[in-house]
């Protein structure tokens, strides 16, 4: 099996991070992977806002948690038993799980394929992160982190164009050494249809 396939099969969402910051050389490679992701029409419209300010990330993560209106998991229907998500555990108040680096991916508001461009860039970055020993987790509905006056002020400070919106966040950090690498969920049968 080649190294790309090994990385694809090894990558998992990480929601428990050490507090040490991602090494700058690793971060640069991860961002480069995002820049080289495919984009509809080759437009390269995704903006990557990298925040390593712990206080800003914590406040935006709490905003996001407070403004996300999803149904909580119940019974045996959970996102992750090993590393609970904000949908699994109401005691988790930071939707960014205290990750030391949070990258918000922004796309043009009126471009049909903006979310897809962000998703493929995030996947490229998650694979690059895994290959470098960095944990990652993507969080959808990025705009909820900025839906209060504090979030709007951060958008102004970051000089985010008003014709762009936050599609998702990508969390980066080193997994905690006491946590085992999450085990893969069994692949569901019948998902490949051949004709």
DSSP structure string for 149-190? HHHHHHHHHTT--TTEEEEEEEEEEPBPTTSPPPPPPPPPTT
What is residue 66's predicted lDDT score, i.e. its pLDDT?
A: 82
**pLDDT category of residue 90 using cuts at 50, 70 and 90:** confident
pTM more than 0.75: yes
Query: What integer is the mean pLDDT of 24-41?
Result: 97
Category of 154 on φ-ψ map: left (φ > 0), alpha (ψ -120 to 50) or beta: alpha
- How many helices (DSSP H) and strands (DSSP E) are in the chain? 5, 4
How does pLDDT run across 159-195, given as a tens digit for each residue? 999 999 999 999 999 999 898 888 888 899 999 999 9
List the alpha helices (DSSP H) in the chain.
3-10, 24-35, 54-67, 114-131, 149-157
Residue 69 reports pLDDT greater than 70: no
How does pLDDT run across 93-140, given as a tens digit for each residue? 889 999 999 999 999 999 999 999 999 999 999 999 999 999 999 999
What are the Cα distances from residue 164, in Å, to 2, 60, 161?
38, 18, 6
Taking the C-alpha atoms of residue 195 and residue 186, their distance in angstroms, rounded to an integer, is 25
DSSP-derived letter for residue 11 is -
**pLDDT category of residue 92 using cuts at 50, 70 and 90:** confident
What is residue 74's predicted lDDT score, i.e. its pLDDT?
A: 63
């Amino acid at each position: 099996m080649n190294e790309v396939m090994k990385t694809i099969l090894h990558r998992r969402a990480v929601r428990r991070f050490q507090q040490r910051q991602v090494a700058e050389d690793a971060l640069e490679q991860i961002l480069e992977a995002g820049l080289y992701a495919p984009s509809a029409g080759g437009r390269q419209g995704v903006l990557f806002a990298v925040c390593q300010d712990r206080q800003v990330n914590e406040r935006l993560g709490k905003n996001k948690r407070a403004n996300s209106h999803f149904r909580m998991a119940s019974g045996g229907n959970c996102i992750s038993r090993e590393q609970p998500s904000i949908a699994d555990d109401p005691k988790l108040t930071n939707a960014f799980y205290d990750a030391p680096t949070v990258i918000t991916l922004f796309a043009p508001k009126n471009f049909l394929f903006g979310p897809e461009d962000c998703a493929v860039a995030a996947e490229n970055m998650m694979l690059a992160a895994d290959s470098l020993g960095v944990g990652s987790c993507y969080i959808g509905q990025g705009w909820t982190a900025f839906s209060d006056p504090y979030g709007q002020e951060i958008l102004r400070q970051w000089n985010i164009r008003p014709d762009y919106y936050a599609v998702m966040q990508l969390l980066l950090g080193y997994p905690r050494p006491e946590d085992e690498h999450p085990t893969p969920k069994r692949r569901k049968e019948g998902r490949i249809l051949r004709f």
